[in-house]
């Protein structure tokens, strides 16, 4: 994957890393956490059906499973959209100085 480059103090091109992206856009951390929680909940729901129908985990998923999945999906979608919006705004802001420099005679 070809990462964009940023300029350091000595004007040498330094490739951006994922860590740099997470520092500038905190929403990606929310996407990772919400996605992990959603996957763990999905796996727990599958495993709970294999055991005793009266187990606490199975009764929780039977009574509140739909609500739990809905809330987790909504949080995941919200954090994804927020991360993409912030990322797009940062990209456009970073490109703006380049456009004005090339447009000037």
Domain ranges of the chain: 27-90
CB atoms within 10 A of CB 90: 13
Q: How far apart are CA 93 and CA 86, in angstroms?
A: 10
Tens of pLDDT, residue by residue over 33-86, are 999 999 999 999 999 989 898 999 999 999 999 999 999 999 999 999 999 999
Alpha-helical (H) ranges within 13-105 are 18-24, 27-50, 56-103
Record the pTM. 0.68
pLDDT exceeds 70 at position 20:
no
Most confidently modeled range among 6-15, 17-26, 31-40, 82-91: 31-40
Q: What is the band of 5 on the pLDDT scale with cuts at 50, 70, 90?
A: low
Contact 58, 49 (CB under 8 A): yes
What is the DSSP-derived secondary structure letter of residue 5? E
């Amino acid at each position: 994957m070809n990462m964009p480059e940023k300029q350091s103090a000595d004007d040498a091109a330094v490739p951006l890393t994922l860590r740099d992206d997470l520092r500038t856009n905190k929403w990606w951390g929310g996407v990772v956490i919400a996605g992990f929680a959603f996957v763990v909940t999905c796996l727990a729901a599958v495993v709970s059906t294999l055991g005793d129908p009266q187990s606490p985990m199975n009764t929780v998923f039977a009574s509140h499973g739909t609500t739990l999945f809905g809330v987790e999906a909504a949080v995941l979608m919200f954090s994804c959209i927020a991360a993409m919006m912030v990322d797009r705004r940062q990209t456009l802001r970073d490109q703006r100085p380049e456009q004005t420099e090339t447009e000037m005679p």
